[in-house]
Amino acid sequence: MENFLLIITKPDNVPIVGMLFVVVFFLNWGLSQGRRNDRLIKEGRRDEIRDDMAR
């Protein structure tokens, strides 16, 4: 664990570690919106998807 922390805290690797958190955040956000859209389609409210995206 000590070696791992030494590697990820080096100045060259800090942006890569930050990028990993950003990618995970937006992946989670996109998947949750997809699940919400699928739920709206299943409920027969397909026309509300565009209104939901405009918010």
**Number of domains within the chain:** 1
* Domain-located, residue 20: yes
| Distance separating alpha carbons of residues 37 and 34, to the nearest angstrom | 5
Torsion of Cα atoms, 46 then 48 then 51 then 55, to 10°? -110
Q: Is 36 inside any structural domain? A: yes
Structure confidence at residue 53 (pLDDT): 81
Say if 3 falls within a structural domain.
no
**Any domain includes 2:** no
4 within domain boundaries = no
* pLDDT, tens digit, 9 for 90 and up, residues 27-43: 999 999 999 999 999 99
Provide mean pLDDT across the span 8-21.
Answer: 94
- 45 lies in a domain? yes
* 1 within some domain: no
